[in-house]
């Protein structure tokens, strides 16, 4: 995620890889297939061959496939002794392939066509809710029609129960002026939270207001994360400009997000504007204000919740929070403030769940294999709650519970905090 690199600059990055193989131990795609072509080292080698002129971008379908099958989970980046930025290299490679072959149809429809327009995503969510609650859904499933759609048909199973109202429609009833305002914040309502997980946003707004924050929730657009992962830098830049302009004029103390992907992506906006002096300075001001909600609450020092929760929780680390922002400990510290709540660690808590934005829809078989490992860890933990700070992970984990017939609830850590403040069960 940066300015466009030429082949020489990309080659210099690829040449940082000394082929030590450390990434084999942590790369989820390699761990499920055991194939050398599915690990960071091999993906980097393919890019090096293109940058050296042995292949042309998009020429080899197989080569493109190995670059697209990367989750961008950063596990290799964190483990790599040579600091090879594999995720950034992958996004550049996808950008180059788009330039030659055109953007994939899925990206054009889902990212530019829907995610770039929050109204369209909200409309789609309403239609999907109608579908979920009608006879059509069971008819479609039984008819075998979904099998004809192949991978896209499998994506239907990932959908969580869609709430009646989007978060944005609920904002007037959620936002109030708290007594003794100490902080003014913008709450960034990300696309997935707005359409599918309004309960996360409602809990975040409640907890912020409980801790003396005046909350603004302006009409923002997608953070640009899906576009960047698909190598669509141009659209991501446009969305970033829009968010910067919408938010900065409100002069908040902080911009708070309860979606690890949104906060992680927005913390890197500056890199998008290295060649745009007008927005470079603005993006720096903007980035300095971005906080993941757990990070922000620890920073301001929250009131201890008076309620108790007699249950056990385990945490799944979203890649964008633990590796992207190095904040793995923040949600755990918040949960430790709740009396009665026992926290246990599950095996592979830090490993990607296989959701990775649209990965579950585009690579359902690999995604489900990666998820199975995560679900085994959760099952063995014995926890009632599986807490995660990202709606895309939540969607994947909820699917995992259904698919593996496991008991338990997927929650955002902030939902448990809100419950401990208000003594009411978290909203469904």
Sole window of 15-23, 180-188, 275-283, 418-426 interacting with ligand SF4 (rule: CB under 6 A): 15-23
- Which of 92, 291 has the CB closer to ligand SF4? 92
Contact with ligand SF4 (CB under 6 A) among 2, 5, 22, 372: 22
Q: Is 29 in the site for ligand SF4 (CB under 6 A)?
A: yes
Task: Enumerate residues 82-101 that contact ligand SF4 by CB under 6 A.
Answer: 82, 84, 86-87
The answer to whether residue 20 forms part of the interface with ligand SF4 (CB under 6 A) is yes
Which range of residues in 39-47, 51-59, 285-293, 411-419 is near ligand SF4 by CB under 6 A? 39-47
370 contacts ligand SF4 (rule: CB under 6 A): no
If the CB atoms of residues 220 and 319 are measured against ligand SF4, the closer one turns out to be 319
Shortest spacing between CB 19 and ligand SF4, in angstroms:
5
Cα separations (Å) of 202 from 188, 265, 288? 12, 22, 25
Dihedral sign from CA coordinates of 210, 214, 217, 222: negative
Nearer to ligand SF4, 69 or 312 (CB): 69
Taking the CA of residue 162 as centre, how many other CA atoms within 13 Å lie in the half-sphere pointing to its CB? 23
- Give the binding range for ligand SF4 (CB under 6 A) out of 25-33, 235-243, 291-299, 321-329: 25-33
Beta carbon nearer to ligand SF4, 31 or 186: 31
One of 10, 13, 32, 41 touching ligand SF4 (CB under 6 A): 41
Tell me whether residue 83 or residue 177 sits nearer to ligand SF4 (CB atom): 83
**Whose Cβ is closer to ligand SF4: residue 28's or residue 391's?**
28
Looking at beta carbons only, is 27 or 222 nearer to ligand SF4?
27
Q: Would you count residue 161 as binding ligand SF4 (CB under 6 A)? A: no
- The window from 36-44, 146-154, 258-266, 403-411 that contacts ligand SF4 (CB under 6 A) reads 36-44
Residue 298 token pair: 């620890």
Of residues 56 through 85, those in contact with ligand SF4 by CB under 6 A are 70-76, 79-80, 82, 84
Based on the shown chain and the rule CB under 6 A, indicate whether residue 18 belongs to the binding site for ligand SF4. yes
**Closer of 116 and 396 to ligand SF4 (Cβ):** 396
**Min dist. Cβ of residue 36 to ligand SF4 (A):** 11
Q: Which is nearer to ligand SF4, 22 or 369 (CB)?
A: 22
- Give least dist CB 35 to ligand SF4, A: 12
Which residues contribute to the site for ligand SF4 (CB under 6 A)?
A: 17-23, 26-29, 40-41, 43-44, 70-76, 79-80, 82, 84, 86-87
């Amino acid at each position: 995620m940066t300015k466009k690199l030429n082949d020489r600059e990309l080659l210099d990055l690829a040449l940082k890889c000394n082929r030590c193989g450390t990434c084999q131990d942590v790369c989820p795609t390699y761990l499920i297939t055991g194939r050398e072509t599915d690990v960071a080292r091999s993906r980097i080698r393919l890019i090096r061959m293109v940058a050296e002129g042995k292949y042309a971008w998009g020429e080899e379908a197989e080569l493109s496939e190995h670059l697209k099958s990367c989750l961008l989970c950063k596990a290799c980046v964190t483990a790599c002794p040579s600091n090879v930025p594999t995720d950034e290299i992958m996004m550049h490679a996808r950008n180059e392939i788009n330039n030659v072959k055109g953007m994939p149809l899925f990206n054009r429809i889902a990212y530019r066509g829907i995610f770039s327009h929050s109204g369209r995503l909200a409309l789609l969510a309403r239609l999907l809710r109608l579908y979920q609650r009608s006879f059509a859904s069971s008819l479609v499933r039984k008819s075998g029609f979904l099998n004809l759609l192949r991978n896209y048909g499998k994506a239907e199973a990932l959908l969580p129960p869609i709430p009646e109202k989007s978060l944005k429609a609920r904002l007037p009833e959620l936002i109030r002026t708290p007594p003794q305002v100490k902080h003014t914040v913008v709450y960034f309502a990300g696309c997935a939270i707005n359409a599918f997980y309004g309960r996360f946003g409602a809990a975040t707004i409640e907890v912020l207001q409980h801790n003396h924050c005046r909350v603004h929730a302006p009409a923002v657009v997608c953070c640009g994360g899906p576009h960047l992962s698909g190598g669509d830098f141009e659209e991501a830049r446009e969305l970033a400009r829009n968010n910067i302009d919408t938010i900065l004029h409100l002069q908040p103390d902080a911009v708070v997000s309860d979606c690890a992907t949104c906060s992680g992506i927005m913390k890197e906006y500056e890199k998008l504007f290295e060649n745009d002096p007008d927005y470079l300075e603005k993006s720096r001001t903007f980035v300095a204000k971005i906080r993941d909600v757990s990070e922000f609450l620890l920073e301001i020092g929250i009131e201890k919740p008076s309620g108790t929760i007699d249950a056990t929780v385990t945490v799944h680390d979203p890649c964008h929070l633990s590796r992207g922002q190095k904040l793995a400990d923040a949600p755990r510290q918040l949960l430790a403030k709740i009396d009665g709540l026992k926290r246990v660690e599950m095996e592979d808590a830090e490993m990607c769940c296989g959701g990775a934005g649209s990965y579950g829809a585009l690579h359902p078989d690999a995604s489900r294999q990666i998820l199975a490992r995560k679900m085994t860890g959760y099952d063995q933990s014995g926890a009632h709650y599986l807490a995660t700070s990202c709606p895309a992970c939540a969607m994947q984990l909820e699917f995992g519970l259904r698919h593996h017939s496991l008991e338990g609830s997927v929650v955002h850590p902030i939902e448990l905090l809100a419950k401990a403040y208000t003594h009411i069960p978290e909203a469904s």
